[in-house]
Structure 1
Amino acid sequence: MTSISTATADWLALRAPADDAARSPELAHELGRMLAAVPGPVLLHDLGAGTGSMTRWLAPRLPGPQQWVLRDGDADIVEHLDLSAVTDAGRRSIDTQVVVEDLAALPSDAFHGAAAVTASALLDVITRAEAAHVVAACVAAGTPALFSLTVTGGVRVRAARRHPTGLRSSGLHSAALHPSGPDETIERAIAAAFNDHQRRDAEGRRMLGPDAVAVTAALFADAGWHVRRAPTPWRLRRSDRALVAAWLDGWVDAAVEQRPELTEDAEAYRRRRRAQADAAGLRVTVSHEDLLAWPG
């Protein structure tokens, strides 16, 4: 695996507010409860750290003092890390160390002495063998793991429709969702093609895609560990217009790359959705799941 990161710093910054709104505070609280008994500095490893979004969100929810090892295979993207303002639950600054390393090169004892392992938007872009390698390292160290924002394949897109101004006095909202009609057929085809693209064989690596949470949960369960899962969907609205536009383009482009025969219908769909977004906005739900695993 040449790099854990799969996106640019600009994309990670654009999606950060939606990510933070979606993550499971319940699973973070449960992890914090586990770490409360850890003596001394709490050592955590973040895999595929990118620009540090997981650390920024999670560190203030966990006890400290904290030491983070931020691991990523992309030397360029970790140049954008800035965690100087991040504190733990006790408002103490955190210590950080960056390790640039391919996931395949992760030592089997990498997590020795760690209190937890974390990752965000990682599992769906790795292979089953890589997931098994990470799970084995967690199990060997007895280290709980929290994996956030893994895509599960579900997408729902709806256009908002503005009612005539006169309806405001009746107590009805000024915008309501309406079915997409014919768009539902091409939407299903795009979604299926996108999910196949997520599972594609890329340079000899068949990624887990939407199967990632189930596969990883089974690997932990087979090791006798407890697993808890939580739905963590993006719920995007008109105020997320820039993210919706970028997500829509990426979603359609990946689908067309996987199934070129969809090109004409998919491009027409994209144009209609863009027009709807400009006129009244789109409401988009993109399904993700968080997973917490800990020793049995």
Structure 2
Amino acid sequence: MNGDRVTLTEAPRYAPTWLELREPADAEARSRDLLVPLRAHLAETLATRGSLLIRDLGCGTGSMQRWLAPQLDGPQRWILQDHDADLLAFASANATEFSADASRVTVMTRHADLTQLSPGDLRSTSLITASALLDLLSVDEIDRLAATCVEAGCPALITLSVTGTIELSPADPLDDELTAGFADHLRHHVEGRELLGPDAGAAAADAFTRRGWVVEQRASTWRLGPAHPALTAEWLRGWVPAAATRRPGLDADAYLARRLDALATGALRATVHHTDLLALPHRATTPLGATE
């Protein structure tokens, strides 16, 4: 491992309950448009190698594997990588076993930080994936990840990177201040690392583009409210206090109570914006405007 590589020693641990709550909303939000050029690129890999090797970084409970594996053809081997051994065990035990064409899908796990990746690790990898991860990285870590993928010739599908934009209905006078406070909260320092938070998606796009790769981004939006009451309530209980740490003069407790009351009556709607990114080698030129 290179001496300048940073390990995510302070990476947060996420309870499986939260990750399970968000999985349906994540699946609804992820861009299917990006799967069109991805499938075309991976079809060439299948024709050459006969199978796909996909590495999911920061896999959590394995929701990306469960969402993506059934949408891709061919035999697949997944490496589920995370710093949390408990989440790895859950992800492995609950992995999808069949691809879109009923080919076998197998999984293995790796207990490691994503910043330990080297181009050699990705030499035979067909694709790296990640979900809800980039906002936890610094600009140097994102740049290093892109450089590693490009050197290895390994495409990347990175979904659900927060943008910081949140819309709530009905409106409340504190909405804008707390939304700005949460964006500031995401841009925080951890042991000398300045996390990019809502700026991470743009930084990743720039890192790949500067190296000559084709990058496309699509919106991936959570639509919270009565359709996801448990997730919406849990999100509010996390979002409001986190935002209030950067806006200490606001009455966050009263705001949270108002929002939970509105959710209980079925009146509350929240739109939480994310972005998905696909980075492919320049030779992969399938039009992203194509439809399935």
TM-score (structure 2 length as normaliser): 0.89
Once the 2 structures are TM-superposed, how far is the Cα of residue 202 of structure 1 from its aligned partner?
2.0
Give per-residue Cα distances to partners, 1:116-171, cap 9 Å, x unaligned.
11110111111111111211110011111100111101101114xxxxxxxxxxxx
Distance 1:11 1:29 in 2: 30
Residue matched to 2:191:
203
Q: Which moved more, 1:114-123 or 1:83-92?
A: 83-92
Residue matched to 2:73:
63
Give per-residue Cα distances to partners, 1:32-70, cap 9 Å, x unaligned.
111011121111111001111001100111122101111
Structure 2 residue runs without a partner (length 5+)? 1-7, 283-292
Residue matched to 2:31:
24
Asked if the contact 2:59/2:82 (under 8 Å) is kept, the reply is yes
Asked if the contact 1:227/1:294 (under 8 Å) is kept, the reply is yes
Asked if the contact 2:66/2:95 (under 8 Å) is kept, the reply is no
Distance 1:247 1:73 in 2: 23
Match of 1:13 among 8, 14, 20: 20
**After superposition, where does 1:1-296 map in structure 2 within 5 Å?**
1-2=8-9, 6-38=13-45, 39=48, 40-81=50-91, 82-159=93-170, 180=171, 183=172, 185-262=173-250, 265-296=251-282
Q: Which has the larger radius of gyration?
A: 1
Asked if the contact 2:97/2:106 (under 8 Å) is kept, the reply is no
Look up the SS of the partner of 2:243 in the other structure: helix
Asked if the contact 1:194/1:258 (under 8 Å) is kept, the reply is yes
Distance 2:27 2:13 in 1: 19
Asked if the contact 1:195/1:210 (under 8 Å) is kept, the reply is yes
Give per-residue Cα distances to partners, 1:213-266, cap 9 Å, x unaligned.
10000000100111000001101231211111111111111112233222xx22
Equivalent residue pairs, number: 271
Structure 1 residue runs without a partner (length 5+)? 160-179
> What letter corresponds to residue 272 of structure 1 in structure 2?
R
Distance 1:237 1:206 in 2: 32
> What letter corresponds to residue 107 of structure 1 in structure 2?
S
Give the root-mean-square deviation of aligned CA atoms: 1.5
Q: Which moved more, 1:209-218 or 1:248-257?
A: 248-257
CA spacing shift, 1:60–1:144, aligned 2, 3 Å: same
CA spacing shift, 1:111–1:55, aligned 2, 3 Å: same
Once the 2 structures are TM-superposed, how far is the Cα of residue 28 of structure 1 from its aligned partner?
1.9
**Identity fraction in percent:** 43
Asked if the contact 2:95/2:107 (under 8 Å) is kept, the reply is no
Distance 2:204 2:94 in 1: 29
TM-score (structure 1 length as normaliser): 0.88
Give per-residue Cα distances to partners, 1:182-232, cap 9 Å, x unaligned.
x1x311110111001101112322111000110000000100111000001
Q: Which moved more, 1:96-105 or 1:79-88?
A: 79-88
Once the 2 structures are TM-superposed, how far is the Cα of residue 76 of structure 1 from its aligned partner?
2.0
